[in-house]
Structure 1
Amino acid sequence: MGYITVSLYDYIDDSTDIQDLLKTFSCPLNLEVESFLKDKAIDFERKHFARTYLVFSDTFQLPSLLGYFTVALKHLAIPIDISKSFRKTITEYIDREEAITYLIGQLGRNCAVSERISGSDLMTLAIAVIYDVYLKIGGRIILVECENQEKLRIFYENQGFRLLCSNIDNNLLQYVSTVKSLH
């Protein structure tokens, strides 16, 4: 099965139609992911905080909203206690204390449809969007943040991310990788 990725930004002027579409999204395993798409994504688009991409099946009968991901830029403070080799891997400098990263802020699959998309496929689509921007403006690091749950840790590690630290401000784990190593 193939996928079509559409930027929510291109459709925010059709807010009634797009709101109806977003209401079809369900993610009972992570209500924050569901709530973001339904209640915050359009506002984030209008304020240029982040870009949300909707992923549809490419079937011609009835395309279904299979999932979505949100990308943004985020300032990252590099912890002082990480090894110099890891610091150099992610920043290219052994004494770098901060960096601007591409943040994959949301990644969610729609449980309300019979067709499914894998988390790996959603991640691949998100990386493709980031890679396109990377080719145009540069950058280096991709950041994901997640709750400290074994299933999420394993997922991100299997996607090629390495644990950087636990974010004290929001109690989330921060995982990083370079754009080049994921593309």
Structure 2
Amino acid sequence: MALEIVQLYDMLRSGRREEEIKQILLSFCSLRNGDQIHDVEDFLHNKAIEFEKNDIARTYLVFSSYKGYPVLVGYYSLSNKPLIISKRNFSKFSTSLKKRLLGFGHKTERENYEIKGYLLGQLGKNYSEDAIATRAVSGRDLLALATESMLQIHKLAGGRIFYLECEDIEKLKQFYHGEGFREIEDYKSENGYCIFIRRIHDKK
């Protein structure tokens, strides 16, 4: 079944009413863990439009069709954002890890460590009834689409890595390992998430 990718950026400039666009975004449901709303759902419902308007991130909506109507089946967001690790945290790494990281990053004037790259800010499959009925997309499919979009940006702007933050959940970490990402050992982001990176020229 064919998939269509529509940038939220373009949708907001298409002349459609913002309220209509919000209703499309609200059709997205994350996989429920009790009553807890997952970050991928909260982002699309409450932050994606603001991030577009402020040029913080670009959100890509993935559509399929069900009973002749377009259905939002997933989305991803990308940001042109370097990975920065503080001097204090970098100093705690093993010598071998420091050497590997310095192979494609550099120290800044303040002795922080920085790698130019692209952040996969969000990656989400829609678990609404209609979206599931399409059987149109998997997490791996969404990651492949996100990678392709990132490579188009990379062609124009350069950069060394594709990276992401994820919860410390073994199944999720195994998924990203299987897709060629490698975790920065013994390191968590300010939000307490694991950091996974993939050198762009090492893409699968």
Separation (CA, whole Å) in 2 of partners of 1:34 and 1:3: 20
Cα distance, 1:64 vs structure 2: 1.3
1:111 aligned to 2:127? yes
Listed one character per residue, the Cα deviations across residues 112-144 of structure 1 (whole Å, up to 9, x for unaligned) are: 121231111000000001000111111111111
Separation (CA, whole Å) in 1 of partners of 2:22 and 2:58: 16
Tell me the secondary structure at the aligned position of residue 6 of structure 2: strand
User: Over the residues paired in the alignment, what is the CA RMSD in angstroms?
Assistant: 2.3
Tell me the secondary structure at the aligned position of residue 48 of structure 1: coil
Cα distance, 1:92 vs structure 2: 6.2
Cα distance, 1:42 vs structure 2: 0.3
* TM score, norm. by length of structure 1: 0.89
Indicate the residue corresponding to 1:43 in structure 2: 50
Share of identical aligned residues, percent? 35
Aligned residues: 182
**Superposition map of 1:142-157 within 5 A:** 142-157=162-177
In structure 2, the CA distance between the partners of 1:107 and 1:178, relative to structure 1 (3 Å rule), is same
Runs (4+) of structure 1 moved beyond 6 Å?
A: 92-96
Indicate the residue corresponding to 1:69 in structure 2: 76
Indicate the residue corresponding to 1:87 in structure 2: 101
* TM score, norm. by length of structure 2: 0.80
Moved more, 30-39 or 101-110: 30-39
1:133 aligned to 2:153? yes
In structure 2, the CA distance between the partners of 1:84 and 1:31, relative to structure 1 (3 Å rule), is closer
**Superposition map of 1:12-51 within 5 A:** 12-13=12-13, 14=16, 15-29=18-32, 31-51=38-58
Indicate the residue corresponding to 1:101 in structure 2: 117
In structure 2, the CA distance between the partners of 1:143 and 1:168, relative to structure 1 (3 Å rule), is closer
Unaligned runs of 5+ in 1: none
Indicate the residue corresponding to 2:143 in structure 1: 123
